[in-house]
Amino acid sequence: MHDYLVVGLGLAGISFCEVLEKEGKTFTVVSDSSQQASQVAGGLYNPVILKRFTLAWKAKVQMELAQPFYADLEQKLGQKLDYKVPVLRRFASIEEQNAWFEASDKPGLDHFLSTTTVQNKNSSIDAPFGFGEVKHTGRIDTATLVESYQGYLNKKGLLTEESFDFSCFEHQEGHISYKSIQAKRIVFSCGYGLKNNPFFNYLPLNGTKGELLTIKSPDYNEENVIKSSVFSIPLGDDLYRIGATYKWKDKTNEPTEASKKELLDKLKTFLKCDFEVVDHVAGIRPTVVDRRPLVGQHPKHKNLYVLNGFGSRGVLIAPYTSAQLFNFIERKDSIDPEIDIKRFTKKYYNP
Ligand SMILES: Cc1cc2nc3c(=O)[nH]c(=O)nc-3n(C[C@H](O)[C@H](O)[C@H](O)COP(=O)(O)OP(=O)(O)OC[C@H]3O[C@@H](n4cnc5c(N)ncnc54)[C@H](O)[C@@H]3O)c2cc1C
């Protein structure tokens, strides 16, 4: 009998397994590869919303939890995951420069926003108004994280790689079973796959498709993340990730020519050197109508839980929400009402 069965091994599943292991709980994981968000993500962690120059939701506390979380994972997996790199926000006008400086004075934001303009020194970039620098930002190599974590669990015999088959699932008070697996509780951390979950598909998960390109450009020579109408993220070896798109209708993981064109058109508004496209990927962000995560206990079946709705900020949100769920289950702490799925029970749950 395990303490937990975790279904889904993206950022949500990994972060919950990490809490479980630290707290000495036993668990096993079932996951397939039907969803790709964590594998394809740009992996940026950045506490500032760069459209409006405001602090993202709970960004400070999330940053404080995320730093040691990824450092511990690097140690445990013996893999470099956290690449600390500043984000340079390209200004499109003097008005934007002024808005930035106004914001950089505000409490909370002053820690993250530069108070001077960074002049453009890269001849491959067109940026006549310069940049604002966001500090304490970086990139988690999420593809390597997922792959290494799968390897880590496989070595311990704790990962079953298959699609969760609800016809083989039974639950009673204090006990669930899935095929030969017995556990006290089950946590569904399936990303957009939650749509096919008969217990939690009442939750208003929208899903927003995103696509990213990888380009190779020996002439680009840029060490910072550049944020203009798209992000350009340096990966080393003259490779850069370019993204991302936001599409609300298509829910497949298939890259499209239309999004590729959109990304290239946007990239060419500031990148002036030659490059070639070497990769193109897509995934579905688990986005929610009110832009907050989905965390909590099933309204009726008390040993069924959900950890989802990380939207476009999974890297920072994962450690925070996992701790919230664990402390709720094991320590009887209440979940932050903004993320507790209870907020949707009245409106959407229809037993
Ligand atoms: C193009 C793109 C760019 C992004 N860039 C960033 C970024 O720069 N920074 C950032 O913080 N976030 C970014 N995100 C968002 C981030 O990727 C997500 O918030 C996060 O990965 C969601 O993690 P998850 O574990 O909830 O879901 P997922 O990563 O989708 O993982 C869910 C897992 O559950 C499995 N699963 C689903 N259903 C079942 C089932 N029935 N049985 C078994 N297994 C199942 C899936 O196959 C998958 O392995 C980006 C997303 C996209 C698509």
Tens of pLDDT, residue by residue over 45-72, are 999 999 889 999 999 999 999 999 999 9
Tell me how far the alpha carbon of residue 9 lies from the centroid of ligand 1, in angstroms: 9
Residue closest by Cα to atom 38 of ligand 1: 193
pLDDT at residue 118 above 90?
A: yes
pLDDT at 52: 86
Which residues touch 108 (CB under 8 Å, ≥6 apart)? 55, 60
Q: What is the mean pLDDT of residues 307-315?
A: 97
d(Cα 64, Cα 316) in Å, to the nearest integer? 9
Q: Which atom of ligand 1 is nearest to the CA of 316?
A: 11
Instruction: Answer yes or no: is the C-beta of 253 below 6 A from any ligand 1 atom.
Output: no
Tell me how far the alpha carbon of residue 338 lies from the centroid of ligand 1, in angstroms: 21
Instruction: Answer yes or no: is the C-beta of 15 below 6 A from any ligand 1 atom.
Output: no
- Which tokens go with 6? 């975790």
d(Cα 281, Cα 256) in Å, to the nearest integer? 9
Instruction: Answer yes or no: is the C-beta of 207 below 6 A from any ligand 1 atom.
Output: no
Tell me how far the alpha carbon of residue 10 lies from the centroid of ligand 1, in angstroms: 5
Instruction: Answer yes or no: is the C-beta of 11 below 6 A from any ligand 1 atom.
Output: yes
Instruction: Answer yes or no: is the C-beta of 244 below 6 A from any ligand 1 atom.
Output: yes
pTM above the 0.75 mark?
yes
Instruction: Answer yes or no: is the C-beta of 34 below 6 A from any ligand 1 atom.
Output: yes
d(Cα 223, Cα 229) in Å, to the nearest integer? 18
Which residues touch 187 (CB under 8 Å, ≥6 apart)? 4, 5, 6, 7, 13, 16, 305, 306, 307, 325
CA angle 25, 41, 136 (to 5 degrees): 85
d(Cα 59, Cα 323) in Å, to the nearest integer? 15
Which tens digits make up the pLDDT trace of 6-49? Answer: 999 999 999 999 999 999 999 999 999 999 999 999 999 999 99
pLDDT range class, residue 182, cuts 50, 70, 90 = very high
Q: What is the mean pLDDT of residues 102-113?
A: 90
d(Cα 44, Cα 25) in Å, to the nearest integer? 30
pLDDT range class, residue 82, cuts 50, 70, 90 = very high
Full DSSP string of 138-197 = EEE-HHHHHHHHHHHHHHTT-EEES---GGGEEEETTEEEETTEEEEEEEE--GGGGGG-
pLDDT at residue 351 above 90?
A: no
pLDDT at 297: 98
Instruction: Answer yes or no: is the C-beta of 293 below 6 A from any ligand 1 atom.
Output: no
